[in-house]
Amino acid sequence: MSQDKIDILQRALKREKAARKQAESILEQKSAELYESNQKLEAAYSDLESTYSQTDSQLQGVFEHIVDAYVVADVEGNILKMNASAVSLLGLKSIKDDCNLMELVRPDQYQDVFNAFNLVYKEGGSVSNLVVNITTKDQRDLIVQINASVIYDNGLPIASHGIVRDITQAKYEKEKLIKSEERLATLIQNLEEGILLEDENRKIILVNNKFCEFFGLQVPNELIGKDCKTVIEQIKLSFKDSKKFIDDINIAFNEKKPVLNEDLETVDGRIFERDYIPIFRDGIYKGHLWKYNDFTIRRQYRKSLEVERYKYSSIISNMNLGLIEIDLNDNILMANKSFSEITGYLEEELIGKRGIDLMTFGENRELIEEKVAERKKGKIDSYEVPIKRKDGEVRYLLVSGAPNYNLQGETIGSIGVIFDITEIKNLKFQKEKLLKKLEKSNDELYEYAHVVSHDLKSPLRSINALVSWLKEDNKDNLDAVSLQNIAHIETTLEKMEQLITDVLEYSSIGSDDGEKEEVNLNILVNDLIGILHKPSHINIKVLNTLPCINGNRIKLQQLFQNLMSNAIKFIDKENGLVEIDVKAQDDYYQFSVKDNGIGIDKKFHDKIFKIFLSLNKRKDSTGIGLSIVKKIVEMHEGEIWLDSEPTKGTTFYFTLKKL
């Protein structure tokens, strides 16, 4: 072997030894690094085990103390694990109780729940906000919300876990809120005011039917979400001052302060009141509400009311009747012009004063205090009272008083209407004096009539006696003509005496009415029929039973006797008939005495009752009988009239007051 080859091999060996030595050095270094890394890994594993144990303990604590119900269930729905909240929610007794969640689901929702979980088991993902109706183990019907996710093992779903919340009350409250919102929406839609609600960007949130009706807009639903400016531009032409309409809207929107009862007038004469109400939440502007109220009818009514108020105020102020209003303390609140004139006090002198202190005197004060007290109890009446004017003159007043009520029906005072009856009262006093004077005159006249009657009858009787003696003494010497003349003298004397008697009777009626008593007219008339002289060809009939009345028996007898005698006297028929009848009226009886005699011409109907008027010149008629009849009827507060036709007969009607 050559030296060159040996040198080459030596150099190669030397390089190999150097390389081995370098490799051993590197191996030692790597072994040291591996050892050090192993030590660090063991320390890290130890720390990891400690951390895992601690985390597992913490998770277990969270699981056990979570507020919501937490459940772990297998793919069949059997509960594997749950917390105390789940036990309470599902109506179980212990976390160890066996329970299948699918058995709690309401039958009509079973398939929906099954499909929801089956889908996530197959495709992955989670169940979010699934609302389910369940019946718990203790038979409570609940509505729950489920949020769950799938647990996998080697990529296969083995279970699910999640939160189950009881939303029964929340659901009920939500439904209640929805119903309230629906009612509110219905109420707003049917309000008589036009409502427009905008958000902070002037987008329409709500508009009701009345608003659209007021301004001829499309249906409310089609306006929701639109820019309100376009709607305002559309309706501004409805108003007389469209520029002011827009300017006021912009001012209100910019200032964002409430504006109430703003008057607007449309071109067709309608009057609107507009309200602007800004809406803030936690101090942040969220929008505003417009309210339009058609005030046209109310405004017209108000104007009419003002006109009526002015009219009646003017009437009250200027009417001839005094009007006064007082409060519960009897203080005068209002007095019209006539009351001031009646009392002599100015209005400012009356307001706030007690009229009872200003104008009453003596016993009248007690009367007014009594009437005011009755008024406070709700009594309405009228009474007369004298008062003393400011100048001291006494005036007589007729006061009609009534309680005054407020809108709640409470008595707040009284109102009096005053009529000055001083002149009427004075006339009444004068009348009473005249009546007393007339009564005295009648008494004197009656006495005079008696005296005159006596004084006139005495010479008549003397003349009658002398004529009788003359006739008796010379009956053989007198011829037929003389005897006839003497007979005429006797007849004239009899008629004159009857006339004096009737005049005395007529003058006595009314001067002494005598005692009034209950008189049975049926008995009275039948007695008269028995005693009256009547020819055999005349028949008297009473058609109905006559009533009892209160009156003067003698005068009533004279009334029927005169009428019946009159009827008998003037019957010219072969079969004479007198009928007496009665009819009951409201407060009176209407009597009639009917005959079939000669009758009376209509032109004498108004004169027949005048004294001394006799239509037939009979020797037994003085012309006073019917005048006496009329006086007796009037004395009994009745009336008398007749219905007659010549040759057919006469009916006298008269009324007498009931008992």
Q: How far apart are CA 441 and CA 543, in angstroms?
A: 43
Sign for the CA dihedral angle at 358, 361, 367, 370 comes to positive
Q: How far apart are CA 110 and CA 465, in angstroms?
A: 145
Q: Which two tokens stand for residue 412?
A: 């707040």
Give the closest residue to 54 by CA, choosing from 46, 65, 42: 46
Residues 324 and 384 in one domain: yes
| Residue 5, pLDDT score | 65
Question: End of a domain among 439, 469, 503?
Answer: 503
The burial class, CB within 10 Å (0-12 / 13-18 / 19+), for 406 is exposed
What's the start-to-end Cα distance of the chain, in Å?
A: 191
Q: What mean pLDDT value characterizes the chain?
A: 83
Q: Does residue 116 sit in helix, strand or coil?
A: helix
Q: How far apart are CA 160 and CA 75, in angstroms?
A: 7
- The answer to whether 204 touches 224, Cβ cutoff 8 Å, is yes
Q: Is residue 370 part of a domain?
A: yes
Residues 462 and 395 in one domain: no
Q: Work out how many domains the chain is built from and give that number.
A: 5
Phi, psi for 649 (deg, rounded to 5):
125, 180
| Residue 1, pLDDT score | 57
Q: How far apart are CA 110 and CA 132, in angstroms?
A: 9
Residues 649 and 526 in one domain: yes
Here the CATH number for the domain that contains residue 206 is: 3.30.450.20
Residues 405 and 445 in one domain: no
Q: Is residue 184 part of a domain?
A: no
Residues 528 and 648 in one domain: yes
Q: Is residue 18 part of a domain?
A: no
| Residue 59, pLDDT score | 44
Residues 203 and 258 in one domain: yes
Q: How far apart are CA 124 and CA 210, in angstroms?
A: 54
Amino acid sitting at position 465: A
| Residue 304, pLDDT score | 80
Neighbour-count burial for 339-363, b at 16+ CB within 10 Å, e otherwise:
bbebbbbeeeebeebebbebbbeee
Q: Is residue 20 part of a domain?
A: no
| Residue 196, pLDDT score | 92
Q: Is residue 15 part of a domain?
A: no
Q: Which two tokens stand for residue 222?
A: 């089609």
Residues 270 and 405 in one domain: no
Phi, psi for 442 (deg, rounded to 5):
-65, -40
Question: End of a domain among 420, 441, 465?
Answer: 420
Helical (H) or strand (E) element with 362: none
Helical (H) or strand (E) element with 391: none
Amino acid sitting at position 83: N
- Residue by residue, DSSP assigns 421-484 as -HHHHHHHHHHHHHHHHHHHHHHHHHHHHHHHHHHHHHHHHHHHHHHHHHHHHTTTT--HHHHH
Q: Which two tokens stand for residue 3?
A: 């030296």
Provide the whole-model pTM: 0.36
Q: Does residue 404 sit in helix, strand or coil?
A: strand
Amino acid sitting at position 445: L
Q: Does residue 342 sit in helix, strand or coil?
A: helix
What DSSP state is assigned to residue 621? -
Counting as low any pLDDT under 70, the low residues of the chain are: 1-5, 9, 12, 19-20, 23-24, 27, 30-31, 38, 41-65, 312-313, 315-318, 441-458, 460, 493-514, 611-623
Give the residue carrying structure tokens 């007695």: 527
Q: How far apart are CA 618 and CA 601, in angstroms?
A: 18
Q: Is residue 310 part of a domain?
A: no
Strand-pair category, 194-199 with 394-405: unpaired
| Residue 58, pLDDT score | 43
- The answer to whether 623 touches 614, Cβ cutoff 8 Å, is yes
Numbers of helices and strands, H then E, in the chain: 18, 22
The burial class, CB within 10 Å (0-12 / 13-18 / 19+), for 27 is exposed
Sign for the CA dihedral angle at 343, 345, 346, 350 comes to negative
Here the CATH number for the domain that contains residue 569 is: 3.30.565.10
Q: Is residue 43 part of a domain?
A: no
The burial class, CB within 10 Å (0-12 / 13-18 / 19+), for 416 is buried
| Residue 51, pLDDT score | 47
The burial class, CB within 10 Å (0-12 / 13-18 / 19+), for 262 is middle
Residues 573 and 518 in one domain: yes
Q: Which two tokens stand for residue 147?
A: 């949020």
| Residue 52, pLDDT score | 40
| Residue 57, pLDDT score | 47
Q: Is residue 7 part of a domain?
A: no
Question: End of a domain among 503, 535, 567?
Answer: 503
Counted residue by residue, the chain has a size of 659
Residues 496 and 519 in one domain: no
Domain that holds residue 212: 190-299
Residues 605 and 552 in one domain: yes
| Residue 98, pLDDT score | 92
| Residue 447, pLDDT score | 61
Residues 518 and 641 in one domain: yes
| Residue 222, pLDDT score | 87
pLDDT tens digits, 431-452 = 888 888 877 766 666 665 655 5
Helix axis angle, 625-635 relative to 480-508, nearest 10°? 10
Residues 145 and 259 in one domain: no
| Residue 442, pLDDT score | 63
| Residue 103, pLDDT score | 92
